[in-house]
Structures are given as C-alpha cells and as structure tokens.
Structure 1
C-alpha cells in the first residue's frame, strides 16, 4: 500500500474513531440502547409470531405445510441480504443505512398488522427481513465507532448480542400475551411501535462525527464499484435458493425436484461466486479472500453457526411437545421457557472476561456446558413431571453456555479484523447465525420426523430425543475444532493495520487513479 494512500486514509480514521472518545457516558449508553433495538427487533420478529401460528392458520387459510414460511420468509430474505447490507454500511454512511432500515421495518410492520391474506402476510414478512438486514450490520459498524476502546467495545458487543438472546424468549412471551389477550395483529404493531420512534430519534441522536461524510460524485462512483454488485448478486441468489431448499426439505422431502433443483443451482452459484472473486481486484471483492485468514476468523465463523441453531432447536422441540402433547397453554409454555432468556441475559455481561482470559477457553467452557445440558434434555425431557429435574437445569446450563459462546465469538471475531470492515464482518457473523439455524433446523426436524415415523407415534419423545443426540454430536465436533484450530497466540493482538488491510485506503487509490 502506497504512503499517499495511507495518508489519505488516516484522516478518515480520525473522523470516524477519535471523536467518539469525547462523548459522555450517558450519550454512549443511550446510543447503545438505540443500536440494541435493531438486534432486539431482529430476534423479536423471529419468535413473537410462533404463538400466533395456530391463529394465523385459522384466520388466513394458511395450511400446516405453509405455516413454516411465516417464520422462514423473514429468515430467508434477512440472511440473504445481510452481506450487501454489510458492504453498504462499510462503504457508505452507516447512520443512513441504520435509520433507513429501521424506518422501513416500522412501516412494513404497521402495514402487516392490517392484512388478513396469507400471500400478503408472507410478502410483508419477506420485505421486513430485507429491512432488518439493513439494520444489523450498520448497528455493528456504528458500535465500533461509538466504542473505539477494546474493553468498552467488548462490553458494547456483548450487550448488543445479549439483547438478541433475551429477545428470543421475551419475544415469545410478548407474542403469547398479545395473541391470547388481543390479536396476532398486535404482534406486528408492537414492532412498529418500537421501530418508528427509534428511527426518528436516531436522526438527531447519532452524531455525524461517527458516520462517514458525504463524498464527491466521482468518489461515490468508486464506492459503487467497491460494492462488487455482480459478486453480491450471485451470492445473494445462491443464499436464497440454498435456504429455500434446506427449509423446504424437511417439510416436502429431500428427494423432490422442488428441493433438489434449487439446492444444486445454489451450490453451483456459490462455486461461481468464489471463482468470480479471484478474477477481480482483491479490494473490490464482496468478501475479500484475506478475510478468512485473519486471526482465528475461520474457526470463529464455525462457532457462529451454533447459537441460533441450538436456541431455535430447543424452541421447536419443547414448544410443540408442551402444547401438542402435554396440552399446556401458550402462556404456561412461555413461562416454562423463560429460564432460557434469564440465563442468557446473565451471561451477556461477561464481555470483559475476554480481556483477562483467552476467548478460546471461554468458548470451550460455553460449548461444554451446552453439551452437558443437551444430554440432560435428551435423557429426561419427555415427561412433564421431569421438568424440574432435567429440563430446567438443562435450559439454564445450556443457554448460559451458548450465550458465553455467542458473546465471546462475537467479540473475538470483531477484534480480529480492521474497524473499516465492521459492517461486512457483522453481516458475515449474523449470516452464519442464520445459516446455521436454517440448515441445522432442517436436519434436526428431518431426524425428528423420521424417528417418529419409525415408532409410529408422534406423541412420544423418541424423535425429539434422537434429534437432540444429533445436536450433541455437532457440539462435540465443534469442541474438538476449537480445541485444535483456535490459536491462542493470536489473543489480544491489535487489529490489522490500515495500511495493510483498510478498504477505505484502497478506495482512495481507486479514486486517485480515476482522477
């Protein structure tokens, strides 16, 4: 990297990072709350509609096989558009991206509450996923500017992640209360009540010092080129087809043309994407190849595949068991699920530990705790009278362990890359969470239904138990992977220097050549 390019990049770094150090603690905390609302709404929109599915099926005519798409429509578009949203947050103004996404999420949630047609609801859910995808990477990009110091940044990332975990269970509870005492329409309107005021407040609260300033037209042109629209388009289509195939496989059968065709096309497109990335300039790539060679980045990406998978698998296994087999009410089911959120919330405050103890050991402890809890649930989760002996301890130990894994994987992966890539890395991390959940749940549900078919009794625990043993096997594989591949010698090392890795510096070179 030339000295002139580095000289041009340095002022930008000063603009985005240094002023944040002068903000008062009160302002930083308030900014963090605004950014946490994005993670909260993303998780809320994943779980709050679960209690409403039976009501939606009766009101809109959605069939049992179609009901999965009430949740999947949001997940599919959210996961697919995370990467382009991350690049937009890194290359353009993350403040504008955050406010735009939050505003559209609120408007779409408001509109979804007024419809009773199944096609309209699915369309609204898909569009809400795109809006939500715009808020998550931009929230991470803004967070690393609000909290430039390593310790406070670790705390901020931990709190942001903790909001998502708590909202998973809190969303289930809020959704259950609204469905039982009002209507499913209020589940959508609740999201609008949160999103619209936040988007308006952020217009004034997020200071311009932590967002990149507007550039001249020729610079904006170079920025557009640096987004790699061709590569992102290929990968987005590939992800849409891939997630569609794996979410449809467990419901429609893996051997059907409607599942195999998009699966094969998506794999070919992913191969084509990586080939395309080798043909263009490294700094214009959607995911620069060097990303996978940052300190421990690849093994941390593997850890990121597990948290949402584990939490969602537990939700699916026990919510359906308790309501369909034990005939518990929606409220009773949700209350029995609440220990998951409490344990996760407590462990979300452990962020500063990564400055004292190697993240490797914290992640391994978290994975080991979750493995023990999964074994407990597989052994004793099939009887209502065993809730206090097996399920409650399993929920508390497992959710606490998975929150440790989630939090410290999140912190470590951001500390391994330059701040200028925060949006892209946030997109990759959250994409891993979504993809792990989509693929893992498809296999989890397939195992459950296959074993139930063998026993010819869906009211027994055999299918869920077999799926939980499979989940335990995945956890053990990840424990071995982190133990072997995570290099402790890279802990607490400073982020890569901007003259080696900063995309904004590479962009300055591009602009200079254009001039």
Structure 2
C-alpha cells in the first residue's frame, strides 16, 4: 500500500527497480494471497447450512465457524504489521501463506465442530500475517504514486471479488462434492503460491530503515508489551460482541470480557504515550495524520455492508425460499461484477479528491440500502429491488473501500506501512464483527414480535439500521475530511515529477 505523503530522508524506503514482468508477477502473488484470505471466509457462507446438519451444530457454534476467523484475523493484524515493519516482510508473507495452506489442508479432514472452530481460528492468525506484509512489500515494488494507486485498487478489488466468487465456488463444492473441498481448494492454491513467492520476492525490496537496524533495536521497536496488551483486548472485545447475539448482551460471558477489553484498551493508550514515539506499536501521532481518524471510521463500513447482505440473503434464499446453494450463489453475482468494475478506479484519485469519490460511493450505498429495506423478501422482488440494490450498492461500497484504502496511505510515512495496513484491515474486520453482531440482534428481536424468520420485517429493520450507519458516516466525511492535505500532496508530486 502506498505512502504518498512527503518522506524525510530517514523515512525514505530503499527502492530497487524491478522489471515490469517481475512487478506484475509479484502483484499477482500478493493479490492471490488477498484472494485466498477473503475466499476462506466467504466460501463458508454456502457451507454453513450443510455444516449445521452434518455436524449437529447449535446456532452459536455455526456462528463461531465464521467468527473464529474474524476474531483472530483482526486481533493479530497489529502484531503482524509491526513484525512486517520492523523485520523483513517477505518472511511474514511466505510464512502466512504457507500456514494458511497447511491449516486448511488439515481442516479438510475434520468432521467435528470444536476442532474445526480451532482450526478456523488458526487460519485467521495465518491470514493476518499475509496482509500487512503484502502492503509493506507493495510500497517498494511500486514506488511511483500512480502505480501505487493502481496496485492498491487491484489488491483491494481481489478481496471484494473473492467474497462473491467464494460464494460461487463454495456452492459448487457443497452441491457437487463436499464442504471439505472448500478447505482443500485453499490448500491446493496456497502451498504452491508460498513456494513460488519464496523464490520470486527479492529480499532486498523489503529493506527499509527499520528492518536494517541491529537486532536489539528491532526488538525494542517491536513494542511487544504494547502489542500484546492490544491484541488481548481486541480478542476479548470481538469475542464479547460476537457472543452478544447468541448468549444475550446482559450475560456475564459478554459483559465481563467487554469491560476488561475496554480497560485494556485504555491501558494500552496510556502505555503508548509513556514510551518513545518511534518504538510505540501505534504512536499517538498516527491518529493525528491528516484524515486518518475519519478514514479509519469509514473503513468500518465495507465488510459490514457486504457481509450483512451475504448473511441476510443466503439464509433467506436457502432456508426460507428453499433455493439451492448454486441458485443462491448465482443471484449474488451482481455484487462481484460491480465490485470488479469499480476496482479499476484507483487512478481517479489523481484527478478527483478522494473525499468526493468516497461520498459518491456512500450515496450509491444509501440508495441501495433503501431498496433492500423496501423489498426483497419474495422471489418476484429480485429484479425490481434486489438486483439494482446489489449492483449499485456493491459499486458504491467498492468505490468507498478503494479510495479510503488509497487515502489512508497518503497520510502515513513508509516506515509505518505495515502497521497502517494492519489498522486499516483491522477496521474492516471490526466493522464486520460488530456490525454482524448488531444486525443479528436486531433481526432476532424484530422477528420475535413480527411473524418470525419467514417474514421480511426483521431483515428490513436491519437495512434501515444499516442506512442510519451509512448516513452518519456520510455526514462525518462531509464535515471532517480535510482536502488541503490532498492538495499539498498533489503539489509535492508535481514538483517531484517536474523539478524545473
């Protein structure tokens, strides 16, 4: 991911010019790892109903098949980001992809609920190693700003397309083979990818000021205590909000970890303000980079919107309308097509302010969410309501995702690329985890008083809530996004490209 703000001489990364063929091959490998991370999550949406029957899962257990991945993925992103910034990210990337392949291979042979949930949690840890390291490597592979913007859009687009293709491929495995092949497919792709990356990623492109330090300085820069405090806090927080929809928000199993996590977060920020700013896991100055805080808030939206749509309609179509797994996946295709088209818009940030692109995307998303709130509970609602909502909403969310991704790296120095990438991707996961817990509670409570799960009222209430969230973010970006930072960056880039 590209840091596009001016860099001081001590922050300037060590760039090594690579051939175009080598750059494209590396980008393909990074995107493939991103694809596998998203695929390993979305493909199981199609398999959940089968897993519930074959393993005799309870509702809370089937929820944890998805949530275990999100919990560990989001929680371990920060420590992965710090390792990528301080040590050589090539090792983290190859190790993460290898781990993903090996764990997925083992998961394919599991037929019991608890071992599968544990392996899903381990898969999340392996996946969390790949994203920050890939972002740190992209900084050096694509040092030119326009190339970086295009690389970001392509990298992000792979995750969004994988979310839908995962539904389709997972549905085909479930329908014509077995859910075991969802895991084996990941292993078949991941293990050769890791082997290839071990040879084609030049070690020298990962060298920066931080990872060229002596071993003692690296260990100090890692801020192991701060990272550990925040990682444990995030695990407890996500566990609490995920359990809230199944165990009840007033239960001790939810309130105790929630309170402890909040106290630990406060303790983390107190610790970070006391140590040296250059060795903090998340230096306090990070939140004061231009537009960083508002962009972090916007990053909570994309996976929240997509996963809500996936969850609502896969269960509605398969459990209520009795559609086949394949039919349900095919009807989701507009989401992937729209996301793919919008993934090629990265260069627009060189013409327009990311603020206006993000607001445009949110506008599309709001219109789509209104359509889904008004109709979608009957088969005949698909073409007048669901299809245009999927197309318009996914296009809008992809615009928001891509240009938030680009803009947040305009604010950060290259020495923080891995950490900022971890924060950004952590926000994506927090949004989906907290959002899905909220919408599950809303849907359940409304259905309890309005006709049960066979009625659309609970699902409509979810989309009205989602509309309120998008509207609040739209207003926040309108007010708090600072365009002067973007103008300053453009002036700098023009000066660099034309010294005269």
| TM class, shorter-length | over 0.9
Shift of 1:208: 2.1
- Residue 28 of structure 1 corresponds to 23
1:318 partnered with 2:313: yes
- Residue 5 of structure 2 corresponds to none
Distance 1:271 1:244 in 2: 18
Distance 2:213 2:362 in 1: 49
Distance 1:241 1:129 in 2: 15
For 1:167, which of 162, 184, 188 is the aligned residue?
A: 162
For 2:348, which of 333, 353, 366 is the aligned residue?
A: 353
Cα deviation 1:156-176 (Å, max 9, x = unaligned) = 000000000000000011111
Shift of 1:480: 0.4
Pick closer, same or farther for the CA change 1:489–1:216 going to 2, 3 Å.
closer
1:285-364 maps to which residues of 2 (within 5 A)?
Answer: 285-364=280-359
Q: Secondary structure at the match of 2:59?
A: coil
For 1:187, which of 182, 185, 188 is the aligned residue?
A: 182
Distance 2:32 2:55 in 1: 30
Q: Please tell me whether the aligned partners of residues 211 and 218 of structure 2 are also in contact (alpha carbons under 8 angstroms).
A: no
Q: Which runs of 5+ in 1 are unaligned?
A: 1-5, 498-515
Cα deviation 1:43-76 (Å, max 9, x = unaligned) = 1111111211222223333222211111111110
1:49 partnered with 2:44: yes
Distance 1:493 1:425 in 2: 21
- Residue 408 of structure 1 corresponds to 403
Distance 2:203 2:418 in 1: 17
Shift of 1:213: 7.8
1:39 partnered with 2:34: yes
Q: Please tell me whether the aligned partners of residues 166 and 344 of structure 1 are also in contact (alpha carbons under 8 angstroms).
A: yes
- Residue 453 of structure 1 corresponds to 448
Pick closer, same or farther for the CA change 1:332–1:200 going to 2, 3 Å.
same
1:384 partnered with 2:343: no
Q: Secondary structure at the match of 2:61?
A: coil
Q: Please tell me whether the aligned partners of residues 301 and 428 of structure 2 are also in contact (alpha carbons under 8 angstroms).
A: yes
Cα deviation 1:227-252 (Å, max 9, x = unaligned) = 11111111001100000010110111
1:66 partnered with 2:61: yes
Shift of 1:217: 11
- Residue 500 of structure 1 corresponds to none
1:444 partnered with 2:439: yes
Two-structure CA RMSD over aligned residues (Å): 1.8
Shift of 1:127: 0.7
1:91 partnered with 2:82: no
Q: Please tell me whether the aligned partners of residues 355 and 492 of structure 1 are also in contact (alpha carbons under 8 angstroms).
A: no
Shift of 1:214: 11
Pick closer, same or farther for the CA change 1:188–1:280 going to 2, 3 Å.
same
- Residue 148 of structure 2 corresponds to 153
Distance 2:192 2:487 in 1: 38
* The 10-residue stretch of structure 1 (360-369 or 208-217) with the greater mean CA deviation from structure 2: 208-217
What TM-score comes out, normalization by structure 2 length? 0.94
Shift of 1:118: 1.4
Distance 1:222 1:444 in 2: 45
For 1:199, which of 194, 202, 209 is the aligned residue?
A: 194
Shift of 1:79: 0.4
Cα deviation 1:176-219 (Å, max 9, x = unaligned) = 10111111111001111111011100111111221128999981
Shift of 1:457: 2.2
Distance 2:211 2:334 in 1: 52
Q: Secondary structure at the match of 1:284?
A: coil
Q: Please tell me whether the aligned partners of residues 209 and 415 of structure 2 are also in contact (alpha carbons under 8 angstroms).
A: no
Q: Please tell me whether the aligned partners of residues 85 and 210 of structure 2 are also in contact (alpha carbons under 8 angstroms).
A: no
Distance 1:268 1:215 in 2: 31
- Residue 513 of structure 1 corresponds to none
Cα deviation 1:397-450 (Å, max 9, x = unaligned) = 000000000000000111111111110010000000000111111111111111
Q: Secondary structure at the match of 1:457?
A: coil
Distance 1:209 1:252 in 2: 50
Distance 1:165 1:433 in 2: 12
For 1:268, which of 258, 263, 267 is the aligned residue?
A: 263
- Residue 506 of structure 1 corresponds to none
1:241 partnered with 2:262: no
Distance 2:195 2:466 in 1: 42
Q: Please tell me whether the aligned partners of residues 49 and 172 of structure 1 are also in contact (alpha carbons under 8 angstroms).
A: yes
Q: Secondary structure at the match of 1:203?
A: helix
1:250 partnered with 2:231: no
For 1:489, which of 484, 488, 495 is the aligned residue?
A: 484
Distance 1:127 1:232 in 2: 19
Pick closer, same or farther for the CA change 1:196–1:43 going to 2, 3 Å.
same
Shift of 1:370: 0.2
For 1:397, which of 392, 395, 419 is the aligned residue?
A: 392
Shift of 1:38: 1.8
- Residue 280 of structure 1 corresponds to 275
Shift of 1:318: 1.0
- Residue 434 of structure 1 corresponds to 429
Q: Secondary structure at the match of 2:267?
A: helix
Q: Please tell me whether the aligned partners of residues 241 and 437 of structure 2 are also in contact (alpha carbons under 8 angstroms).
A: yes
Distance 2:487 2:330 in 1: 40
The count of corresponding residues between Structure 1 and Structure 2 is 485
